[in-house]
Amino acid sequence: AQSVTQLGSHVSVSEGALVLLRCNYSSSVPPYLFWYVQYPNQGLQLLLKYTTGATLVKGINGFEAEFKKSETSFHLTKPSAHMSDAAEYFCAVSEDGGTSYGKLTFGQGTILTVHP
């Protein structure tokens, strides 16, 4: 069975500071990993995803994430936070095959606050 743990339900940074949102996963087969962002009163929007190949993945709005198989991690980073980055972020894992075919399993979410 697949699962996702996001460390820290709330993260607060200053504008211009590094953003680091942590995600660890568990999967019985090679995983597909995603980060989604949710702005207030909106649906989820894909930030980036890892399927195969290069382990450092770049997404929209300057975000990137690195797949580390040995650490079962997929942390999200952005070098310099902007006020518009304030939102809730969800890490998710998906698999092909077995009973989890195509299913997205989400972490608990991390609310990012950006201070001026």
Partner 1 sequence: EAQVTQNPRYLITVTGKKLTVTCSQNMNHEYMSWYRQDPGLGLRQIYYSMNVEVTDKGDVPEGYKVSRKEKRNFPLILESPSPNQTSLYFCASSIRTGSMQAFFGQGTRLTVV
Residues near partner 1 (CB under 8 A) = 4, 6, 9, 32, 34, 36, 41-46, 49, 51-52, 90, 94-96, 100-109
Least distance in Å: CB of 46 to partner 1?
5
Least distance in Å: CB of 110 to partner 1?
10
Task: Name the E strands within 29-109.
Answer: 32-38, 44-50, 56-58, 64-68, 73-78, 87-94, 105-106
Tokens 């006020």 sit on residue:
83
Closest to partner 1 by CB, 2 vs 73, is: 2
Decide the pairing of beta strands 10-14 and 19-26. Answer: unpaired
Closest to partner 1 by CB, 14 vs 51, is: 51
Closest to partner 1 by CB, 13 vs 47, is: 47
Q: Tell me the backbone φ, ψ of residue 20, rounded to 5 degrees.
A: -135, 115
